[in-house]
Amino acid sequence: MGKETKFISFFNQKGGVGKSTFEIIMATYCHNMLGLKVAILDSDFPQHNVLKLRENEIKLIQKSEVNQQIFARLGKPVFPVEGSEPASAVADLDNFLELEAGEEAFDIVFVDLPGTVNTPGVLSTIARLDHIFIPIVADQLVVTSSLEFGLVVAEKIIGQPNINLKSLHYFWNNVVKSEKSNLYGATEDTLKELDLPFLSHQIAQSVKFRKPEFRSTIFPMDRSLMKETNVVPLIHEILEIIGINVSSEIQTIE
């Protein structure tokens, strides 16, 4: 039996919490550093920020001989970034399962969605996914909205007939190490009481996330940029949850 493609999304109804950024970072890391076959379906219509980023990066490569040489040294094609809309996202996901004879199946397809469940097609797409990961920041409005959304998904979607979604997990983003906030502990206690899973790794606040070389859909991240943000351990924790195995040697990349 061949490998099973995993459909996942970083989702939150509040903007600015890092959902698209993490999809880009994880997809690029998995493609370039781990050799996994991945794709991104950008259904965040009409913004299509991930798709626009890919298009802009291709233009920059075409205009620069230096960038062309750097890309050639990668020795591999870019992973697909496809545009979509929420209303057609479920059908578009199925397209990733249609393979030519002898073609290798995708390991992971990341789905970028609009930040509101009221958009037609968003809930049906969430139900079609395998897993969703919810980044949250230490802001009372973000936490409250995220908890309400997670409860709805856990109680009304996961485990229901004809629903594919298997799990949701929260994780902290933009954590200031020196910050003393009761919101962290109170939120984790509430999630535990509600039986809503929380990732053990959290992402530290860093200006590095704004650097173009950290959010490229083409070029691998500079290892020095990955230090102190906890990105790599978080990615491997997610891979373990969704059932993607990588070698122990690869897991030491930091």
Total domain count for the chain?
Answer: 1
Q: pLDDT over 70 for what percent of the chain?
A: 94
The answer to the question of residue 25 being in a domain is: yes
C-alpha–C-alpha distance, residues 83 and 209, integer Å = 23
For 170-208, how does the pLDDT look when each residue is reduced to its tens digit (9 = 90+)? 999 988 776 677 888 899 999 999 999 999 998 888 777
- Check residue 220 and give its pLDDT: 86
Closest CA to 133 of 45, 25, 3: 25
The answer to the question of residue 91 being in a domain is: yes
The answer to the question of residue 1 being in a domain is: no
- Check residue 215 and give its pLDDT: 86
The answer to the question of residue 50 being in a domain is: yes
- Check residue 230 and give its pLDDT: 83
The answer to the question of residue 51 being in a domain is: yes
For 120-138, how does the pLDDT look when each residue is reduced to its tens digit (9 = 90+)? 999 999 999 999 999 999 8
Q: Is 84 helix (H, G, I), strand (E, B) or coil?
A: coil
Q: What residue ranges of the chain have pLDDT lower than 70?
A: 1-2, 178-179, 247-254
The answer to the question of residue 111 being in a domain is: yes
The answer to the question of residue 140 being in a domain is: yes
- Phi, then psi, of 92 in degrees rounded to 5: -65, -35
Domain residues for 188? 6-252
H or E stretch at 171 = strand 167-172
- Check residue 23 and give its pLDDT: 94
- Check residue 249 and give its pLDDT: 44
- Check residue 1 and give its pLDDT: 52
The answer to the question of residue 79 being in a domain is: yes
- Check residue 247 and give its pLDDT: 67
- Kindly report the CATH number assigned to the domain that includes residue 69: 3.40.50.300
Closest CA to 170 of 42, 50, 17, 20: 17
Closest CA to 6 of 148, 170, 128, 100: 128
Closest CA to 107 of 182, 5, 208: 5
